[in-house]
């Protein structure tokens, strides 16, 4: 059976039911045909024909759904204007009101599910943006049109389900765009990945170089001898008795002199290490830029 035969039959029936005031039946009729129709449309081989079919189903289904929502809203307004008969008991009023609003909520829920079915049907045919728009409409119907008398947990569950589906569609769309971009920019990706690998190798080499910097620095051997001299002078100072202030101070002056000779050498070592560390930092920053370029949304 062709998709248009199935859909047009359901569409005409739903419109007739709507015009006859059979709103609930119209909602059921249009809801029950959507999944089956898109099952047939999904098998159409010609892309343009498939898109045209999907667009027609979406357009006509949205038209009748919005008419049905308007009808349900008018029924609610009329119910509120009319009010209960004066001779009716409170229990009877509550029973009828409960029945009315349960029927109203049921209709809105079914229409929201019809929009959800449309979204699922068009995702692969008309694209994720159309699917998200339809799913957002399904969510808004539940959010805006259901009355507080309905089961709050069911409302929450359905809203969460729609939100999760919207997120899923968007994530799928983002992944598709990402994959498509890099499929057409493979050379750029290879260049970036090669640069990143080279930078990581340079960082490893620089990290291994840092411990060797002191020995390569001019004056390192002198510094080692001077440090030994400082240790010997410290030992000499300790050997003086408590009251040998003059002698201790003389040794301390020698220690200070030797340390002043060590300081420039240590400064050169620190500067050389800092230069390498700065280079490592530059390489790491460039790697972050590459990672951002390779992973950012497309």
Fold of domain 3-183: 1.25.40
Q: What pLDDT is attached to residue 166?
A: 94
Per the CB < 8 A criterion, the answer to whether 141 and 110 are in contact is: no
Q: What is the pLDDT of residue 93?
A: 46
What are the residue ranges in the chain where pLDDT is below 70?
79-103, 145-151
Residues near 29 by beta carbon (within 8 Å), at least 6 away in sequence: 10, 13, 14, 17
Residue in the structure block whose two tokens are 């899923």: 168
- For 76, residues 6+ apart whose C-beta sits below 8 A from its C-beta are 104, 147
**How confident is the model at residue 259, as a pLDDT?**
93
| Whole-angstrom distance, CA of residue 167 vs CA of residue 160 | 10
Look at residue 73 in the predicted model and tell me its pLDDT. 82
Evaluate if pTM is beyond 0.75.
no
Cα torsion for 185, 186, 192, 194, to the nearest 10°? -170
Sequence length of the chain is 298
Which pLDDT belongs to residue 257? 93
Q: How many CB atoms lie within 10 A of CB 205?
A: 11
pLDDT value of position 153: 77
Per-residue pLDDT, 241 = 76
Cβ neighbors of 169 (< 8 A, separation 6 or more) are 119, 123, 128, 131, 132, 135
Contact predicate 295/177, CB 8 Å: no
Cα 236 off chain centre by: 69
Q: What span, in angstroms and rounded, lies between the C-alpha atoms of 222 and 182?
A: 57
In this predicted structure, what is the pLDDT of residue 183? 95
Look at residue 16 in the predicted model and tell me its pLDDT.
93
Residue 83 CB neighbour total at 10 angstroms: 8
CA-closest candidate to residue 14, choices 3, 28, 26: 26
Question: Could you give the CA distance from residue 2 to residue 95 in angstroms, rounded to a whole number?
Answer: 45
**Residue-wise burial string across 278-292, b where 16 or more C-beta atoms lie within 10 A, e elsewhere:** eebeebeeebeebee
């Amino acid at each position: 059976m062709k998709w248009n035969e199935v859909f047009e039959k359901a569409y005409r029936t739903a419109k007739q039911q709507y015009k006859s005031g059979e709103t609930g039946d119209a909602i059921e009729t249009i809801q029950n045909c959507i999944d089956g129709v898109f099952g047939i449309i999904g098998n159409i081989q010609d892309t343009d024909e498939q898109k045209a079919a999907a667009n027609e189903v979406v357009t006509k289904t949205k038209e009748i759904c919005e008419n049905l929502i308007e009808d349900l809203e008018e029924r609610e307004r009329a119910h509120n204007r009319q009010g209960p008969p004066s001779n009716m008991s409170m229990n009877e009023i509550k029973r009828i009101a409960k029945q009315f609003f349960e029927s109203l909520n049921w209709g809105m829920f079914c229409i929201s599910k019809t929009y959800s079915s449309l979204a699922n049907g068009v995702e692969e045919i008309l694209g994720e943006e159309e699917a998200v728009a339809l799913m957002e409409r399904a969510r808004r119907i539940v959010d805006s049109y259901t009355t507080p008398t309905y089961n709050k947990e069911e409302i929450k569950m359905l809203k969460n389900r729609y939100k999760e589906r919207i997120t899923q569609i968007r994530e799928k769309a983002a992944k598709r765009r990402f994959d498509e971009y890099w499929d057409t920019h493979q050379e750029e990706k290879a260049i970036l990945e090669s640069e990143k690998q080279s930078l990581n190798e340079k960082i490893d080499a620089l990290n291994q170089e840092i411990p060797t910097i002191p020995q390569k620095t001019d004056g390192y051997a002198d510094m080692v001898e001077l440090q030994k001299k400082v240790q010997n002078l410290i030992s000499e100072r300790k050997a003086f008795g408590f009251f040998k202030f003059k002698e201790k101070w003389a040794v301390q002056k020698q220690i200070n002199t030797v340390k002043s000779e060590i300081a420039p050498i240590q400064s050169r070592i620190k500067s050389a290490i800092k230069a390498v560390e700065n280079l490592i930092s530059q390489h790491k920053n460039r790697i972050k830029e590459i990672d951002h370029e390779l992973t950012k949304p497309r």
